[in-house]
Amino acid sequence: MASKKIQLEINRLRDEINLHNTQYYVLDDPQVSDQYYDQLLRKLQTLEKQFPGLITTDSPTQRVGAEASEQFESVEHEVPMLSLDNAFDEAEMQAFNKRLSELLSLEVSLQYCAEPKLDGLAVSLLYEQGQLVRAATRGDGRSGENITTNVRTIKSVPLKLVGDKIPELLEVRGEVYMPLKGFKQLNDRQRQHDNKIFANPRNAAAGSLRQLDPKITASRPLAFCCYSIAQLLGTTLPDSQFDQMQLVKLLGLPISPYIEKLNSIEACSDYYHSMADKRDFLSFEIDGVVFKLNKISQQNKAGFVSRAPRWAIARKFPAQEVMTTLLDVEFQVGRTGALTPVARLEPVEVGGVIVSNATLHNMDEINRKDIRIGDTVIVRRAGDVIPEVVSAVLKDRKAGFNKPEMPGACPVCNSEVIQQEGQAAFRCTGGLVCAAQRKEAIKHFASRKAMDIDGLGDKLVEQLVDLGLIDSIADLYSLTLDQLSSMDRMAEKSAKNLLDALEHSKQTTLPRFIYSLGIREVGEATALALANYFTELTAVESADEETLVQVDDVGPVVAANIVHFFDQAENQHVIQRVIEAGLQWPDIEKVEDIDLPLKGTTYVITGTLENYSRQQAAEILKKLGAKVSSSVSKKTTAVVAGDRPGSKVDKANKLDVTVLDEKAFDELTGNRHV
Ligand code: IVH
């Protein structure tokens, strides 16, 4: 009897979890908090642990079930997996449309179904009686590899179809891809562990899907989007591409939210341009738009040529990765003196703009990627990210192509360049003697999050320094209308506005001012913590390292940077002059008096978090005013639970204390991941 009840409860939990999965991944409309979802999952896990006989492979707890395998088995595709013809311009689209109209002997305009072309890997998913039984790669189109265990770990792939009309058999095709945010986080993680860096989200998705150990795939942020039905048995197949996609959506498979029916080739052109405009703002990479004849009867009439359908075409966007020649590597000096290698390139169009410079990040990256001057290199420009050199094309390398070398002296001020132990960056030791560092320091001072001086842009700062009108931030406050109006492209009105903005900036706050000084590794959060802790600038200036490390967010390295900064007579002098010019801020209340967002709350942290140590998570909470305790009680506001959380979560559940997962923690603290 008891076991029947338990089976029912397990079924109920699974159904509810699947429902929330659909709401989240397919309908993009979550109905419950992540926290509630996790509670359901945990309840199910607990029951399944108690009654292992009731575990089924389609249970949402069983995504990473299998052990690592030796190799992937081969899978025959009953329906071949085709590729697409490409169109690169309007004329090719017109030709495509004309061909089809003639072939179908139709005078009226054809209806198309359009979707973005995701840049990932094609996979086939086979569902029997609603259960995911097989996933395969495209391979050569006739046979691919069986990657079921890996695909099961992708959360947006349902293990079980939903709804009340489950087909006997359904094979869908779609793209596995890696959203951009996950891609960046994965590469950061890879870099930290000295592992391979992926050149782009597509490679990262491919590398993740081809892992023999599904646990690794599970740790990679992959997603799935369905774009066609290959086989369907047991229900009627809708007679248009668009309706077929609505059917798979009802069955719980994610489809593109940008899918549209278009009634003419002109509408296709509009769709293409509108997607091109959206491209840089999407959370995933697309490399074009796919247009398919919407009516299946027309598709069947049009048929195929070799490996691509005649009834579909991909209109490609300008490539985001192109090859060009690395002409030279120069070094740019930043605010903190760090020398950044910059690639000078044979100009080339990337993602629709001409690029002649790209970042190489640092010497470690150059070495890791083994890049030499003269190489043919792959340059990538995606979204609003600055163009970067991704890799060298080794087959084009000639003898005599040399590695770029870090100069021994600063290219701007000729001071010595050194690399501090344990740091990747090489730095110019010139400090404010170095014009480059002076310029960067002033730009930083004027920037939005610092003193927010409207009208004092980067170009103007450079001109002012080059003309010798300013040497430091203090000189800004003695600029005159005459001096400013005599600058290039500076009307008297703009000069007046700038003087007003400078005057306005004198009323500031202590955290802003500390931040605007540009002390190495002192960002906004640290500046705020310092201001709150010391409440007076003089106290920060005279603090020793031992005192500084007491401040949240300040470790020994940052403490040393702060002491070093205020030790420089030059810096002291500049600060004094700025204050004499009238810069001021209101008094700061002591930290206890400030209404921090988590004031009065108590958290317990348990288990292994993915992105933080427990110590780091505690620091973040404390900074927001929360207390962090080691034991759960009724007074606990919530327990933050990572992987393998142990008994604290049980206790929390018993006491009805909220349990937060890492995502909920990120939301709470504003550190958003994935
Ligand atoms: S339809 C018979 N639709 O592009 C038609 N493909 O270049 C087969 N792709 O192998 C593909 N987004 O991996 C289709 N919305 C979309 C797509 C898409 C990405 C990929 C797919 C295919 C490749 C062809």
Alpha helix (H) residue ranges in 197-264: 201-209, 214-218, 241-250
Q: Which two tokens stand for residue 421?
A: 């132990």
Domain residue limits, the chain: 4-54, 85-316, 320-396, 435-580, 596-669
- 173 alpha carbon to ligand 1 midpoint, in Å? 9
d(CA 587, CA 532): 10
Ligand 1 atom nearest residue 314's Cα? 7
- For ligand 1, atom 14, the nearest C-alpha belongs to 227
Ligand 1 atom nearest residue 117's Cα? 12
| Cα Rg of the chain (Å, integer) | 30
pLDDT confidence tier of residue 265, bands split at 50, 70 and 90: very high
pLDDT confidence tier of residue 612, bands split at 50, 70 and 90: confident
- 169 alpha carbon to ligand 1 midpoint, in Å? 22
Share of the chain above pLDDT 70, in %: 98
- For ligand 1, atom 9, the nearest C-alpha belongs to 117
pLDDT confidence tier of residue 488, bands split at 50, 70 and 90: confident
Superfamily of domain 85-316: DNA ligase/mRNA capping enzyme (3.30.470.30)
**Degrees, nearest 5: CA angle 65-68-72:** 105
pLDDT confidence tier of residue 568, bands split at 50, 70 and 90: confident
477-502 mean pLDDT: 92
Taking 70 as the threshold, does the pLDDT of residue 455 lie above it? Answer: yes
pLDDT confidence tier of residue 463, bands split at 50, 70 and 90: very high
Burial class of residue 526, CB neighbours in 10 A (0-12, 13-18, 19+): buried
Task: Give the residue, out of 77, 79, 84, 294, with the most ligand 1 atoms within 8 A of its beta carbon, to mutate for a pocket test.
Answer: 84
- 561 alpha carbon to ligand 1 midpoint, in Å? 52
Ligand 1 atom nearest residue 309's Cα? 2
Query: Shortest CA distance to 581 belongs to which of 507, 650, 519?
Result: 507
- 341 alpha carbon to ligand 1 midpoint, in Å? 38
Number of H helices, E strands in the chain: 25, 24
**Residue 425, ligand 1, Cβ within 6 A:** no
SS3 state of residue 426: strand
**Residue 290, ligand 1, Cβ within 6 A:** yes
**Residue 117, ligand 1, Cβ within 6 A:** yes
d(CA 492, CA 333): 32
Extract the runs of DSSP E, i.e. beta strands, from 265-384. 286-293, 304-305, 308-309, 312-316, 321-333, 339-350, 353-359, 376-380
Spatial contact of 256 and 116, defined as CB atoms under 8 Å apart: yes
- 64 alpha carbon to ligand 1 midpoint, in Å? 27
pLDDT confidence tier of residue 674, bands split at 50, 70 and 90: very low
**Residue 227, ligand 1, Cβ within 6 A:** yes
What pLDDT does 594 receive?
63
- 114 alpha carbon to ligand 1 midpoint, in Å? 11
Q: What are phi and psi of 272, to 5 degrees?
A: -55, -50
d(CA 549, CA 556): 6
**Degrees, nearest 5: CA angle 449-452-456:** 130
Q: Which two tokens stand for residue 437?
A: 């560092």
What pLDDT does 592 receive?
56
User: What is the tens place of the pLDDT at every residue in 533-548?
Assistant: 999 999 999 999 999 9
Ligand 1 atom nearest residue 256's Cα? 15
Tell me how far CA of residue 15 lies from CA of 9, 158, 276, 385, in angstroms: 10, 12, 39, 42
d(CA 581, CA 506): 8
Q: Which two tokens stand for residue 115?
A: 């979707």
Ligand 1 atom nearest residue 228's Cα? 1
Angle between helices 180-192 and 201-209 (to 10 degrees): 70
What pLDDT does 608 receive?
87
- 226 alpha carbon to ligand 1 midpoint, in Å? 10
**Residue 83, ligand 1, Cβ within 6 A:** yes
Domain 435-580 fold is DNA polymerase; domain 1 (1.10.150)
- 224 alpha carbon to ligand 1 midpoint, in Å? 13
Task: Give the residue, out of 81, 121, 227, with the most ligand 1 atoms within 8 A of its beta carbon, to mutate for a pocket test.
Answer: 227
CA torsion sign for 87, 311, 143, 132 is positive
Active site residues: 117
Task: Give the residue, out of 290, 294, 306, with the most ligand 1 atoms within 8 A of its beta carbon, to mutate for a pocket test.
Answer: 290
**Residue 309, ligand 1, Cβ within 6 A:** yes
Count of residues making up the chain: 674
**Residue 355, ligand 1, Cβ within 6 A:** no
CATH number given to 4-54: 1.10.287.610
Query: Shortest CA distance to 150 belongs to which of 225, 73, 216?
Result: 216
18-25 mean pLDDT: 91
What pLDDT does 31 receive?
83
- For ligand 1, atom 13, the nearest C-alpha belongs to 122
Q: What are phi and psi of 204, to 5 degrees?
A: -65, -40
Q: Which two tokens stand for residue 268?
A: 């296709």
Query: Shortest CA distance to 435 belongs to which of 408, 460, 465?
Result: 465
549-568 mean pLDDT: 91
**Residue 82, ligand 1, Cβ within 6 A:** yes
What pLDDT does 8 receive?
94
Query: Shortest CA distance to 503 belongs to which of 573, 584, 577, 442?
Result: 584
d(CA 57, CA 89): 47
What pLDDT does 299 receive?
97
DSSP characters for 587-640? PPPPGGGS--TTTT-EEEEESB-SSS-HHHHHHHHHHTT-EEESS--TT--EEE
347-361 mean pLDDT: 92
- For ligand 1, atom 23, the nearest C-alpha belongs to 83
Spatial contact of 148 and 135, defined as CB atoms under 8 Å apart: yes
CATH of 320-396, one of 3.40.50.10320, 2.40.50.140, 1.10.10.10, 3.40.50.1980: 2.40.50.140
Query: Shortest CA distance to 247 belongs to which of 260, 235, 257?
Result: 235
Classify 668 in phi/psi space as left (phi over 0), alpha (psi -120 to 50) or beta: alpha
Superfamily of domain 596-669: BRCT domain (3.40.50.10190)
Higher local confidence (pLDDT), 81 or 590: 81
Taking 60 as the threshold, does the pLDDT of residue 673 lie above it? Answer: no
Taking 90 as the threshold, does the pLDDT of residue 237 lie above it? Answer: yes
Average pLDDT for the chain: 92
- 246 alpha carbon to ligand 1 midpoint, in Å? 18
633-645 mean pLDDT: 89
Place of tokens 């359009």: 114
Higher local confidence (pLDDT), 577 or 629: 577
pLDDT confidence tier of residue 593, bands split at 50, 70 and 90: low
**Residue 229, ligand 1, Cβ within 6 A:** no
